[in-house]
Amino acid sequence: MAGARRTESFPPALTLTSTVVIVSTHLAAQPGDIADTILLPGDPLRAEWIANTYLDDVVCYNRVRNMLGFTGTYKGRRVSVQGTGMGQPSLAIYVHELLTEYGARTLVRVGSCGALVPRVNLRDIVIAMTACTDSAMNRLRFEGIDFAPAADYGLLRAAADRASASGLPYHVGAIMSGDSFYNDRPELTKRLAEYGVLAIEMEAAALYTLAAKHRARALAICTVSDSLVTGEETSSQERERTFAAMARLALDTVGAEPDPGGPGR
């Protein structure tokens, strides 16, 4: 039965105790293992890097499918970091379980994006106010209505204020969450740029939609890893390890104020 709690025994070599509670399908965390405030990088190795670099008292609560998840503290506040994989279907699995099974209330995607307009440069930070998408997920969910997935205003404003105060190169505006990394219709991304869409990534629209459904707060903060305008790009190692400003901005944003218990809409 979906959502049911059950227990299952594992060999002692696989766990510290012989009996664990199975809470969700794709996360091995026990009740209470995951904080209500969570950073969501797509790359599980980036999740590990963020946790080991910025959090204290880090515990790894998930290795299922190598989609690593960690909980620790940042400046005294309990924070988790959970990898989501690439694309909206993958992120939606983890976010759904975090919201419905573990009580997540504040979720911030930290990832990479590609610039669509000349004024957005390599390694700039893009804070996504809303996310367009070519995914069919919301078309199926809303039966043809064009739902507009949007960020939590309180988180967005806090992130923008902190980026400005820190002197970071940042932009606030619309992004595109695409279903295809290798796009056969590049003219469509050019059309989006004509309408002011700043950058393209693959997850934010699903995150914002699920957060709205479950009355949680969500934000996507992305570092520009490549430019569809100039052709510049960062290396895979940089994309995994060196987006430090984005990670600090996200952590300082969620650590600024307590979760008010619902979306700032």
Beta strands in the chain (DSSP E): 6-9, 19-22, 37-40, 56-62, 69-74, 77-82, 106-115, 125-133, 170-177, 199-201, 217-227
Q: How many CB atoms lie within 10 A of CB 165?
A: 9
Can 226 be counted among the known catalytic residues?
A: yes
Half-sphere exposure of 41 (CA within 13 A, CB side): 27
Q: Which of 81, 101, 78, 79 is nearest to 26 (CA)?
A: 101
Distances (CA, A) of 152 to 130, 171, 218, 262: 10, 16, 6, 9
Beta strand 37-40 with 106-115 is parallel
Rounded to an integer, what distance in angstroms lies between the CA atom of residue 1 and that of residue 249? 40
Q: Which two tokens stand for residue 127?
A: 């804070």
Q: How many CB atoms lie within 10 A of CB 79?
A: 26
Q: Name the catalytic one among 33, 226, 252, 259.
A: 226
Q: Which of 203, 189, 224 is nearest to 119 (CA)?
A: 224
| Residues annotated catalytic, as ranges | 226
